[in-house]
Amino acid sequence: MNHKPRILVVDDEPQITRVLRTSLSTHGYEVRTAADGISALETFSDWHPDLVVTDLVMPNMDGTELCRRLRAVSQVPVIVLSVKGEEKTKVEALDLGADDFVTKPFGIDELIARIRASLRRAATPVSEVGTTVLEIGDFRVDLESRQVSVRGREIHLTPKEFDLLTYFMKHAGKVITHRTLLGAIWGGDYAEQTEYLRVFIGNLRKKIETDSSGPHYIVTEPWVGYRFNPGN
């Protein structure tokens, strides 16, 4: 990225956009703001930001609809600003393609960390050595021979655990909702069967985590889903 990363901040509260504009600019980003989804889409098509930070509840066009419209035209990382009690809308936005969320009120460092992670992920997607090997952080998966190694040590996974891990690796760092994960691994009919996930994630954790009671790689996002941190 030759230019300063561009961030579009969308919120109908002028005080929030005012603070974020000053703060993110000082942190080395180029910032523009919009007060609703419609003007955000206009700025997006004119200015081509590298990342969008959006509130969920806004007049004219809300954050969920903005996510849907953005995903129709772009893979730009989207971070959703939500408040507790908006879980349903937050999950909906994540299902529609938002990458991450930050709960209001947030410290600026938390938002900056999420922005950095999302930008890094967008810039360097999971490396596919040849076409059959996935490699990211502590994980290496040979898709053809179905060999999996964590921190250089080979582990044995069942077919479903294997599918889960490769899906996580392809979407590392991103918050994946229960529904998305169930749909991707078991198919759309199982989208509500979260107990499947609990069992399989539990088993997968036992095989990949150093301490499965305090997981480091597969982190639970309460009431939303999971986030996969591949490690270094």
Partner 1 sequence: MTAISFSGRTGYFIAVISMAAATAALALLRLHINPTTVALILLLVVLFLATMWGSGPALLAAVLGVLSFNFFFLPPYHTFTIADPQNWVALAAFLLIAVTAGQLSARAKRRAEEAEAGRVEIDRLYKELRDAFERASHVEALKHSEKLKSALLDAVTHNIRTPLTSIKASVTTLLDDLGQRISLDNESRRDMLDVINEECDRLNRFVEAMIELARIEAGEMRLRRGWSTVDEIVTTALERAQPLTRRHRVEVQIEKDLMIRVDPSAVVEVIYTLLDNATKYSAPGTTILVRAKRHGEGTIQLSVEDEGSGIPRQSRELVFDKFYRANAITDPQSQRPPGIGMGLAIAKGIVEAHGGRIWIEDGSAGNGTRVVCDLPVGDEDETTKKSEPSAKRLGHES
**Min dist. Cβ of residue 59 to partner 1 (A):** 5
User: Length of the chain, please?
Assistant: 232
**36 near partner 1 (CB under 8 A):** yes
H or E element that contains 24: helix 14-26
Binding mask 137-176 for partner 1 (x = CB under 8 A): ----------------------------------------
H or E element that contains 78: strand 78-82
- Answer for which of 109, 154, 189, 211 binds partner 1 (CB under 8 A) is 109
Q: To which residue do tokens 């942190």 refer?
A: 27
**Min dist. Cβ of residue 44 to partner 1 (A):** 19
| Residue 35 or 184 having the CB closest to partner 1 | 35
Binding positions for partner 1, 9-28, rule CB under 8 A: 12-13, 15-16, 18-20, 22-23, 26-27
- Answer for which of 6, 30, 32, 35 binds partner 1 (CB under 8 A) is 35
**104 near partner 1 (CB under 8 A):** yes
> Are 169 and 161 in contact, with CB atoms under 8 Å apart?
no
H or E element that contains 176: strand 175-177
**84 near partner 1 (CB under 8 A):** yes
Residue 141 CA, distance from chain mean position:
21
Type of residue at 186: W
- Answer for which of 60, 75, 132, 220 binds partner 1 (CB under 8 A) is 60
| Residue 29 or 200 having the CB closest to partner 1 | 29
Helices (H), 51-208: 63-73, 87-95, 108-123, 159-170, 178-185, 194-208
CA distance 105 to 92: 20
**Min dist. Cβ of residue 69 to partner 1 (A):** 17
